[in-house]
């Protein structure tokens, strides 16, 4: 495992472009029927990222550096989508409009756009070395925050009558909140500049086990939604979106675990 392999995984265009395409779709579906202009813009973003994703699929496996044009176009598209998301967020928090979208859900997608742009900036800046535990914990804290928010969003989209499933979601939310705070604690301890940090290795192993457990649960939710056996106001696509982000995080952590021989 080389550090270049980890950077290639972090900048996985097929993954990111599909994520942003689905963000546009979720936004479109969450807008009220009278917001014609905003709905049209969300639809345009969906089509744009669909085309970019198809192009990314066609060049999959080409040597690094051969996709610079697509990366530039992706940067521009994500930047425009990011501004659109911020506009929607402003409209909500300033009480100028009401949508079927949680402000935190939009904030969540804003953070993911920022993360992609930061990763691309590092890639273009030719940052080829990663360091333990700074870079490892940086990725962990970002995605753990996302995981705990995923469980919160899902909890609020499932019907209140589904009490057993909701209890499990509350447990997952609490568990990943603990992991998130733990990661922040470990990250803050880096200020002491330790020569080694064995506690990080144990934490990563614990994290991988919890991610596997969460993804099995999310997969079950997706199946129940697809089979119409779960009462909710969302569908299997949203659950599948969460699953792919969890798998991306899990794969990234496993690559770093192998690279650092944890």
pLDDT digits (tens, 9 = 90+) for 121-147: 887 775 555 666 677 788 899 999 999
Global confidence as pTM: 0.92
The domain spans of the chain are 1-129, 130-262
With a cut of 80, say whether residue 3 has pLDDT above it.
Answer: no
Fold annotation for 130-262:
Ferritin (1.20.1260)
Please state, as a whole number, how many other Cβ atoms lie within 10 Å of the Cβ of residue 89. 18
Higher pLDDT: 260 or 251? It is 251
With a cut of 60, say whether residue 2 has pLDDT above it.
Answer: no
Q: Are 233 and 104 in contact (CB under 8 A)?
A: no
Judged by DSSP in three states, 150 sits in helix
Strand partners, 158: 232
- Write the class of the CATH domain 1-129: mainly alpha
Please give the DSSP secondary-structure letter assigned to residue 194: -
Helix (H), strand (E) at residue 2: none
Q: Are 106 and 89 in contact (CB under 8 A)?
A: yes
Q: How does pLDDT run across 113-123, given as a tens digit for each residue?
A: 999 999 888 87
CA distance 179 to 200: 12
Domains 1-129 and 130-262 share a fold: yes
CA proximity to 35, closest of 80, 78, 77, 91: 91
């Amino acid at each position: 495992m080389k550090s270049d392999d980890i950077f290639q995984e972090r900048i996985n265009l097929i993954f990111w472009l599909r994520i942003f395409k689905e963000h546009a779709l979720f936004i479109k579906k969450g807008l009220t029927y009278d917001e014609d202009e905003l709905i049209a813009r969300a639809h345009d973003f969906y089509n744009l990222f669909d085309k970019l994703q198809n192009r990314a699929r066609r060049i999959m496996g080409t040597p690094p550096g051969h996709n610079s044009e697509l990366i530039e176009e992706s940067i521009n598209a994500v930047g425009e989508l990011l501004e659109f998301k911020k506009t929607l967020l402003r409209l909500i928090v300033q009480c100028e409009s009401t949508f079927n979208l949680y402000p935190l859900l939009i904030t969540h997608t804003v953070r993911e756009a920022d993360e992609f742009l930061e990763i691309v900036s590092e890639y273009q800046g030719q940052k080829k070395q990663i360091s333990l535990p700074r870079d490892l914990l940086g990725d962990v804290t970002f995605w753990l925050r996302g995981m705990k928010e995923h469980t919160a969003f899902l909890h609020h989209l499932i019907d209140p009558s589904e009490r057993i499933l909701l209890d499990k979601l509350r447990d997952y939310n609490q568990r990943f909140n603990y992991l998130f705070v733990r990661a922040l604690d470990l990250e803050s301890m880096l200020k002491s500049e330790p020569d080694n940090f064995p506690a990080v290795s144990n934490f990563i192993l614990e994290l991988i086990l919890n991610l596997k457990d969460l993804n099995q649960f999310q997969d079950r939710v997706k199946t129940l939604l697809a089979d119409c056996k779960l009462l909710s106001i969302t569908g299997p696509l949203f659950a599948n979106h969460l699953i792919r982000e969890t798998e991306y995080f899990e794969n990234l952590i496993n690559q770093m675990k192998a690279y650092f021989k944890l």
